[in-house]
Chains A and B, each alone.
Chain A
Amino acid sequence: MSPVPPRRSNTKVLAYIVLVVIAMFGFGFALVPLYDVFCEWTGLNGKVKTEAQAETMLRVDQSRWVSVEFVTTVNGSMPLEFRAGVNKIKVHPGEYQTVAFYGRNPTEKPLIGRAIPSIAPGWTTQFLKKSECFCFNEQRFEPHQEREMVVRFAIDPELPETVGDVSLSYTFFDISPP
Chain B
Amino acid sequence: MSVSAIHDDHHDHGPAKGLMRWVTTTNHKDIGTLYMVTSLIMFMVGGAMALVIRAELFEPGMQFVDPMFYNSMTTLHALIMVFGAVMPAFAGLANWMIPMMIGSPDMALPRLNNWSFWLLPFAVLMLMSTLFMEGGAAAAGWTLYPPLVLQTGAAFPFTIFTIHILGVSSILAAINIIVTILNMRAPGMTLMKMPLFVWTWLITAFLLIAIMPVFAGAVTMLLTDKFFGTSFFNAAGGGDPVLYQHLFWFFGHPEVYVLILPSFGIVSQIIPTFSRKRLFGYSSMVYATASIGFLSFIVWGHHQYTVGMPIEGELYFTYATMLIAVPTGVKVFNWISTMWRGAITFESPMLWAIAFVVLFTLGGFTGLMMSISPADLQYHDTYFIVAHFHYVLVSGAVFAIIGGVYYWLPKWTGRMYDERLAQLHFWLTTLSVNLCFFPQHFLGLAGMPRRIPDYALQFAEFNAWSSVGGFIFGFSQLIFCYIVIRCMRRQGEHASDEVWEGAGEHGLEFTLPSPAPYHTWETPPNVH
Asked whether A29 is an interface residue with its Cβ less than 8 Å from the other chain, the reply is yes
B522 to A1, Cβ gap below 8 A? yes
| CB neighbours of A1 from chain B (8 A) | 522-523
Chain A residues near B186 (CB-CB < 8 A): 4
- Return the chain B residue nearest A2 by Cβ: B4
- Residue from A4, A17, A35, A42 having most chain B Cβ neighbours under 10 A: A4
Q: Mark A162-174, 1 if CB is under 8 A from B, else 0.
A: 0000000001011
Which chain A positions have C-beta within 8 A of B171?
Answer: 21
Selected from A6, A13, A44, A175, the residue in CB contact (under 8 A) with B3 is: A6
Whether A57 is near chain B, meaning CB under 8 Å from some CB there, is no
What 1/0 mask marks residues of chain B from 204 to 217 whose CB sits below 8 Å from any chain A CB? 00000111111111
Does the CB pair B184–A122 fall under 8 Å?
Answer: no
Evaluate contact between B175 and A14: CB separation under 8 angstroms. Answer: yes
Query: B40 → chain A, closest Cβ, in Å?
Result: 29
Complex interface: chain B residues within 8 A of A130 (CB)? none
Task: Kindly supply a per-residue 1/0 record for chain B positions 226-259, scoring 1 wherever the CB is within 8 Å of any chain A CB and 0 otherwise.
Answer: 0000001011101010110011001000000000
Are B236 and A3 closer than 8 Å at their CB atoms? no
Instruction: Give 1 or 0 for each of A1-18: 1 = CB within 8 Å of chain B CB.
Output: 111111110110110011
Which residues on A sit within 8 Å (CB–CB) of B109? 10, 14
Interface residues of B in 253-274 (CB under 8 A from A): none
Does A28 count as interface, using CB distance less than 8 angstroms?
Answer: yes
B14: interface (CB < 8 Å): no
B416 interfacial contact with A, CB 8 Å: no
List, in ascending order, chain A residues with CB within 8 A of B494's CB. none
Bound-state CA distance A6–B6 (Å) is 13
- Contacting residues, chain A, for B240 (C-beta < 8 A): 35, 45, 47
A25-B235 in contact (CB<8A): no
User: A4 to B308, Cβ gap below 8 A?
Assistant: no
Q: Are A13 and B214 interface neighbours, CB within 8 A?
A: no
Interface: A20 (CB within 8 A)? yes
| Residues of B close to A173: CB separation below 8 A | 234-236
**Residues of B171-224 whose CB lies within 8 A of A:** 171, 175, 178-179, 182-184, 186-187, 209-218, 221
In the bound complex, how far is the Cα of B206 from the Cα of A13, in angstroms? 13
Q: A1-B522, A116-B235 are in contact. Are A25 and B108 (CB under 8 A)?
A: no
Q: Is B15 an interface residue (CB 8 A)?
A: no
Whether a CB of chain A sits under 8 angstroms from the CB of B7 is yes
Q: Which residues of chain B come closer than 8 Å to A22, judged between CB atoms?
A: 213
Contact yes or no, B3 A8, CB < 8 A: no
Write out the residue numbers on chain B whose beta carbons fall within 8 Å of the beta carbon of A3. Answer: 3-4, 7, 105, 522, 524
Residues from chain A with a CB closer than 8 A to the CB of B212 are: 21, 24
Q: Which one of A4, A25, A28, A35 lies within 8 Å of B524 (CB-CB)?
A: A4
In this complex, the interface size class of chain A, counting residues with CB under 8 Å from chain B, is 35 or more
Contact A31 B247, beta carbon cutoff 8 Å: yes
Q: Is the CB of A10 within 8 A of B243?
A: no
Least CB distance, B210 to chain A, in whole angstroms? 5
In the assembled complex, which residues on chain B have CB atoms less than 8 Å from the CB atom of A47?
A: 240
In contact, B214 and A114 (Cβ under 8 angstroms): no
Q: Could you give, for residues 1-19 of chain B, a 1 whenever the CB lies within 8 Å of some chain A CB and a 0 otherwise?
A: 1111001000000000000
> Which residues on the A side are within 8 Å of B243 (C-beta)?
31-32, 35
Task: State which of A4, A11, A28, A35 has its C-beta within 8 Å of the C-beta of B213.
Answer: A28
Residue pair A175, B236 in contact (C-beta under 8 Å): yes
Contacts of B309 in A (CB 8 A): 44
B245 to chain A, nearest CB (A): 11
Q: How far is the CA of A122 from the CA of B313 in the complex (A)?
A: 13
Asked if B75 is at the interface (CB within 8 A of a chain A CB), the reply is no
**B38 CB, nearest partner CB in chain A, Å:** 23
> With an 8 A cutoff between CB atoms, is A50 at the interface?
yes
Given the interface pairs A4-B184, A6-B183, A17-B178, the reply to whether A24 lies near B210 with Cβ below 8 Å is yes
* Residues of B close to A24: CB separation below 8 A: 209-214
Known: A11-B1, A44-B313, A122-B310. A4 touches B235 (CB 8 A): no
A102 at the interface (CB under 8 A from B): no
> Given B183, B213, B308, which contacts A45 in the complex, CB threshold below 8 Å?
B308
Q: Which of A37-64 contact B (CB under 8 A)?
A: 42, 44-47, 50
CB distance from A7 to the nearest CB of B (A): 6
Assuming A6-B184, A10-B3, A10-B183, is B216 touching A28 (CB within 8 A)? yes
Residues in B whose Cβ lies below 8 Å from that of A32: 221, 232, 243
Report whether A20 and B210 are in contact in the complex, using a CB–CB cutoff of 8 Å: yes
Question: Are A6 and B108 touching (Cβ within 8 A)?
Answer: yes
B187 partner residues in chain A, CB cutoff 8 A: 4
Task: For A42, give its contact among B209, B213, B246, B310 (CB under 8 Å).
Answer: B310
Binding site for A on B (CB under 8 A): 1-4, 7, 104-105, 108-109, 171, 175, 178-179, 182-184, 186-187, 209-218, 221, 232, 234-236, 238, 240, 242-243, 246-247, 250, 308-310, 313, 522-524
Q: A8-B182, A18-B175 given; name 16 further pairs at CB < 8 Å.
A: A3-B105, A3-B522, A4-B105, A8-B183, A10-B1, A10-B179, A14-B175, A14-B179, A17-B178, A21-B212, A28-B217, A31-B250, A32-B221, A35-B246, A114-B236, A123-B310
* 10 closest cross-chain pairs (CB), A and B: A28-B217, A173-B236, A25-B213, A28-B214, A24-B213, A6-B183, A3-B105, A116-B235, A13-B179, A4-B524
Listed A/B pairs (12) with beta-carbon separation below 8 Å: A1-B523, A4-B524, A6-B3, A6-B108, A10-B3, A13-B179, A18-B175, A27-B213, A29-B217, A31-B250, A75-B236, A175-B236
